[in-house]
Amino acid sequence: MSVREHDLSEIRDAVAKLCATFPMDYWRETDRERRYPTEFVRALTEAGWLSCLIPEEYGGAGLKLAAAAAILEEIQRSGANGAACHAQMYTMGTVLRHCSEAQKRKYLPKIAKGELRLQAFGVTEPSAGTDTSSIRTAAVRKGDRYVVNGQKVWTSRAEHSDIMLLLARTTPREAVQKKTEGLSVFIVEMKAALGRGLTIRPIRTMINRATTEIFIDKLEVPAENLVGEEGKGFRYILDGMNAERILIGAECIGDARWFLARATAYANDRKVFGRPIGQNQGVQFPIARAYMATEAAALMVERAAALYDAGKPCGPESNMAKQLAAEASWQAGDMCLQTHGGFGFAEEYDVERKFRETRLYQVAPISTNLVLCYLAEHVLGLPRSY
């Protein structure tokens, strides 16, 4: 079907059918070899799913964030891993709202066609972490170019991306009134930058995340690649961050529903002492509790996406969506592993892989404690704790 259809159930069905062509053996192999799922990303691109948020005038489908959330949820629900490509969706929050018309016309049609990948978001730094205003990467204007120096870490998919959105300081922190001022966003064409001031180094992690650290040494970026106004970048990336939280919340819901389906099927089929283990309340109740948590979190993800699509403030909702969904997926994952017992640790059941993958979202893209701090201060009016 065409991705221009706005019926989310049809979108879900079509994505599920595509994912079914990539069996669990494929995901076990990519995980085992720490290999990027190039074939899967290509299939999603050719089907138009990764360009769903790009307006039709630039070759995309022009759908809402709710549709992107449905796509990513179904990918995770199938047992696949959408982290290989989800940045091409959530970075659109920054690109569509703040890039110039010239920048959109230059890049978006090629992204929609699959000629370019926008998969890297260069924000986090080793010494700053979640304290984005403390980043040290600096961009200094010299004529028609900016010269950038610094370092980024946990920049996933940098080796598989043609374009990166990079956050850097254009005004020193001590020279601004508010610490979030003086930050700017740049479009970096990575293939041209490699070896000319940009170095990418892979980081091996407990999951197949394709994450890296980036070293930037006198990298020249054309001034025309500045996104929006100089010094306003912190506000620009918030649109990407809110979208990221919502979409990752949707992925967690997909994970949770995969765990629930696997656990329920196993509890019905596995017989011990002459009867299905699912007949025991000690097995039933954790599954039922995980189901309740998942359905409640799914409502918050839906609420946050609706606010985002309406152009309304959604900071609290996007943070709660991410956190509640991450907690639900982890609860479901732990339950699923416990239901399977020893078999849950066997690679062939896929539970251990998904268990590792979904654990990440207790930490990324923002940690549990920072979500709680945000809600305490900005929603509940409690004193700032950090």
Using alpha carbons, select from 56, 57, 29, 61 the residue that is nearest to residue 44: 61
Q: CA–CA separation, 74 vs 16, rounded Å?
A: 6
Cβ atoms of 152 and 213 closer than 8 Å = yes
The single residue listed with the structure tokens 């085992």 is: 32
| Amino acid symbol at 85 | C
Per-residue DSSP letter, 377: I
Let me know if 244 is a catalytic residue.
yes
Which H, E and C letters describe 154-182, residue by residue?
Answer: CCCCHHHCCEEEEEEECCCHHHCCCCCCC
Q: Which of 73, 125, 213, 244 is catalytic?
A: 244
Using alpha carbons, select from 208, 187, 185, 210 the residue that is nearest to residue 200: 210
Burial class (CB in 10 A: 0-12, 13-18, 19+), 373: middle
Using alpha carbons, select from 155, 77, 157 the residue that is nearest to residue 354: 77
Give 22-47 as a DSSP string: S-HHHHHHHHHHT---HHHHHHHHHT
Q: Please give the biggest Cα pair distance in the chain.
A: 79
Cβ atoms of 234 and 180 closer than 8 Å = yes
CA 278 from centre of chain = 34
The catalytic site residues sit at 244
